[in-house]
Structure 1
């Protein structure tokens, strides 16, 4: 893998202290910050697995190693030594994931999009693929991420995911799996609002949402896109509700999607229903439609990232045992 020399940055990234280092203090040859910076640079250069990260570090030129604050082996000559691939692997697999998330900590955000995906290529003979649950900002940054235990579910992991985030005043958007009474109560208790997809896993709520007087409701938002070989028209209707069978529900959204494949002319239409605790005074139809589009866009991006892992790289993702 080609290794580009680093230009001098205006300031070094804020790195975790040595107290976060999972290694025993005795025998540490390379500082934790150097190992993390080497891994970060390798990923930016295209590395997608631990083996490729180790190769990048081994090929790093001396000026790059100096910028990484690598270990000095010859002070007189100014020679530095990169962390070995084995050291990088040992540190990254033992490091608490929360430490890595802290490097890109996101300040309080107005929207959090919860999405879960299985990590491609991570299955072992003893267990299935690692399943990750992430909270993403509207811009696509990862605010938090946890691994879902083999014997638990995304629903149970949601509290761990959001527990370390300031969710007061935030809108949490999630798919139908999280459309649960307990989830709505939990978010309200944290001072957050929700925008949740409604499907048949909540049969009473789904039936109520479908039976609302949509024919009398005006179209409040409309969008059209033509890209990737297809044409799509979306319309949104919103109704204020009272007495619906879900805690804190204030409005229900119906998104109608008409999609035509340009090459074949084949078209299909779908309806999506969502429930939100945001009142009409706090979120108009245009804002709710924007939140829905943002959620779908992040889901597609998140899926692409998970799918690319290991597709063009023979390395197997390294995962720790789930708790």
Structure 2
């Protein structure tokens, strides 16, 4: 939940997080940084559920990051979910949140960087969805054919367009 819903965001940040127990705590090193994540979950009462998109649980994630040779930073983010506590406990929610960022890094970031998608001008009709399908198809075809970096694969295809035909599956 970000600032695009200021009233709900403010309400989420003022929940009694200090009274909530720390549900999960995770430390890792990688990508040139040390990172610690903590997660707290609050079950929402009926009053807050009605104003929070019928969510059942609120989640607070605090990320502490220290890139090698740089000062540490702390970020606190809030999430809402309509998953009931019996279905998604704190460990499940932590895994779902981490999985979301895996998708963000594996697909959305590639689309933003390799295809400059955020600056594209197609905004009407079916054009945005159709172009997204084409971009996703290009990424998938390159990955299925062993490309680990999409930008170098796109540059190689630009230099020798006949290579792109090799990406297509054979049909009879």
* Fold equivalence (TM over 0.5): yes
Tell me the TM-score normalized by structure 1: 0.35
Is 2:82 the partner of 1:277?
yes
Stretches of 4+ aligned residues off by more than 6 angstroms = none
Partner Cα separation in structure 1 for residue 82 and residue 100 of structure 2: 16
Is 2:90 the partner of 1:296?
no
1:233-244 paired onto structure 2 within 5 Å: 233-242=36-45, 243-244=47-48
State the Cα distance separating 1:269 from its structure 2 match: 0.4
Question: 1:204 aligns to what?
Answer: 7
Question: 2:58 aligns to what?
Answer: 252
Is 2:38 the partner of 1:232?
no
User: Cα gap change, 1:202/1:228 in structure 2, threshold over 3 Å: closer, same or farther?
Assistant: same
State the secondary structure of the residue aligned to 2:94: helix
User: Cα gap change, 1:304/1:276 in structure 2, threshold over 3 Å: closer, same or farther?
Assistant: closer
State the Cα distance separating 1:305 from its structure 2 match: 3.7
Q: Which runs of 5+ in 2 are unaligned?
A: 115-148, 162-172
Aligned residues: 119
Question: 2:19 aligns to what?
Answer: 216
Partner Cα separation in structure 2 for residue 227 and residue 310 of structure 1: 23
Deviations 1:125-144 (A, max 9, x none): xxxxxxxxxxxxxxxxxxxx
Larger C-alpha radius of gyration, 1 or 2? 1
User: Cα gap change, 1:287/1:203 in structure 2, threshold over 3 Å: closer, same or farther?
Assistant: same
Partner Cα separation in structure 1 for residue 71 and residue 30 of structure 2: 15
Partner Cα separation in structure 2 for residue 304 and residue 252 of structure 1: 26
Partner Cα separation in structure 2 for residue 305 and residue 269 of structure 1: 26
Partner Cα separation in structure 2 for residue 257 and residue 288 of structure 1: 15
Deviations 1:80-100 (A, max 9, x none): xxxxxxxxxxxxxxxxxxxxx
State the secondary structure of the residue aligned to 2:21: coil
State the secondary structure of the residue aligned to 2:78: strand
State the secondary structure of the residue aligned to 1:300: helix
State the secondary structure of the residue aligned to 1:266: coil
Tell me the TM-score normalized by structure 2: 0.63
Deviations 1:121-173 (A, max 9, x none): xxxxxxxxxxxxxxxxxxxxxxxxxxxxxxxxxxxxxxxxxxxxxxxxxxxxx
State the Cα distance separating 1:276 from its structure 2 match: 0.4
1:116-155 paired onto structure 2 within 5 Å: none
Structure having the larger proportion of residues in helix: 2
RMSD: 2.0
Q: Which runs of 5+ in 1 are unaligned?
A: 1-197, 318-323
